[in-house]
Chains A and B, each alone.
Chain A
């Protein structure tokens, strides 16, 4: 991946704010359980993966969540809401400001490479809030039609292989 990295593009203020909007709106949609909105942060054939650091470093392909394209993402959230039995809980994501690390200018053929840390905490009935995972997003981002930004790829690499009980929402 580092081979394609170039000097990060310098964005104007408006583009920079729009990029932050993508990151914060993504987290808010999931925190607020607007699952139907989740695929809309991606391009049609975007790749979404949630992977333990161990697999990432060993170059092993298995992911906790693996969606190729928005349809597969939609299937995951429908399955989550319609078929999975889980204890009710509040999940909340804390995402650091986006950091542009390389790639192109964000045009369709030259996505920007962006990173941000994420912390996911959960609260179950009769339990105190606990950390589910801490991780880093390795994203590729392009300009959408309306002046905003879209994810063409999101790889969430989380630190602790060992997770508490279950992870019932996308990160």
Chain B
């Protein structure tokens, strides 16, 4: 349905969509409305790929713990594009497009591994760990015949390089050489970022992936929307893991593009809150095996949940003792991949690792909480495609974009669209 982009009809559309002025006009109310076409229009989607994902933004790429040794590499994505992230001999990290400079072949065909160099299997063009072209078979022909033109030079050719930033063991990537320094880019979110990535060595615990039938932005907004968590996620509510009557806050960076939902686990819901949630709250629901929610405090401060969304492709999850990077990979206007990398710390006890594994039952495609989201996102996309004239209303908690000390708000979605409208020139 939504992968029609892979057919050639969109090849021309790319140029038109990005170079021509947008024909769409954002609703006059501004960021308190989101038009359905923001989630369904191919031209908008292609413009996002160019302006946001290839533009001056930092996308999450990988964890350094995935590539500890020289030559270790992983495949990742920046927007739709496949990218190789590799540890160099000197310990630095390089990233380059997984596309051969010759015929565009996605030459790296393993999701991870260790390599001394990379060779495209089609014509054996060979690249070093920086992605620079090092050799071409038959470059000078054979017995005086054939070979590349005399003016062809391999210098300066290679796989398209990306900018690399590292902070706390996390690797961020950008196609744009003019992107601002990462620490500036992260801005006020740095303190929440550093809370999890505090310099301790990370340990990867495993992966999950799902292809969700909705536009990528709906997932991002989902983590900027504490309102839904208090009514949709019966499991979270019932066990007090995240509820609107708990002490909480929503904070943004100066641009509005990043945000953090901060909350503190509480006991039973108070009476007023319980009444509002009564449709779904299951106070009587009790676990027969409490080990599933054997939560221990491991970070300083009162917060037990901090969910960060870092523009444009990363959700940093700290829900109780489950830590995960959720990476968004757009796959056409109506689909995206959600790639989960679960991790802990190298100095975790076996009991702590076991706790993280148990709590992961709440997350991912089969998550007792997260499955609610993948399902409702697919239903959102269905509705938005059927009714393109719809304008989503984003007025919970008012119309502004300022930080709040409560959860009954959609302020972080408004802040996101404030930034989005500006960047996209809508």
A residues within 8 Å of B by Cβ?
50, 52, 54-55, 58, 60-69, 71-72, 74-76, 78-80, 82-87, 161-168
* Option from A61, A80, A165 in Cβ contact (under 8 Å) with B378: A165
Q: For residue A166, which residues in chain B have a CB less than 8 angstroms away from its CB?
A: 210, 365-366, 371, 374-375
Check A66 against B360 for contact (C-beta < 8 Å). Answer: yes
Check A163 against B205 for contact (C-beta < 8 Å). Answer: no
Q: How far is the CA of A69 from the CA of B290 in the complex (A)?
A: 12
B residues within 8 Å of A by Cβ?
111, 204-213, 232-235, 238, 282, 285, 287-289, 291-292, 337, 342, 353, 356-358, 360-361, 364-366, 368, 371-372, 374-376, 378-379
Q: Which 5 A-B pairs have the closest CB atoms?
A: A62-B206, A60-B206, A83-B234, A71-B289, A71-B288
Check B368 against A79 for contact (C-beta < 8 Å). Answer: yes
Q: For residue A71, which residues in chain B have a CB less than 8 angstroms away from its CB?
A: 288-289
Q: How far is the CA of A71 from the CA of B374 in the complex (A)?
A: 26
In the complex, how many angstroms separate the beta carbon of B6 from the nearest chain A beta carbon? Answer: 16
Task: Please report whether the interface of chain A is mostly helix, strand, loop or mixed according to DSSP.
Answer: mixed
* Option from A62, A66, A72, A168 in Cβ contact (under 8 Å) with B207: A62
- A and B contact pairs by CB, cutoff 8 A, 21 listed: A52-B208, A60-B206, A60-B207, A62-B206, A62-B208, A62-B342, A66-B361, A72-B291, A75-B288, A79-B368, A80-B368, A83-B233, A84-B234, A84-B372, A161-B209, A162-B211, A163-B210, A165-B212, A166-B365, A167-B366, A168-B366
Check A83 against B360 for contact (C-beta < 8 Å). Answer: no
Question: Assuming the A-B contacts A65-B361, A83-B368, are A165 and B235 also in contact, with contact meaning beta carbons closer than 8 angstroms in the complex?
Answer: no
Check B368 against A63 for contact (C-beta < 8 Å). Answer: no
* Option from B342, B353, B356, B375 in Cβ contact (under 8 Å) with A85: B375
Q: For residue A86, which residues in chain B have a CB less than 8 angstroms away from its CB?
A: 371-372, 375
In the complex, how many angstroms separate the beta carbon of B360 from the nearest chain A beta carbon? Answer: 5
In the complex, how many angstroms separate the beta carbon of A154 from the nearest chain B beta carbon? Answer: 15
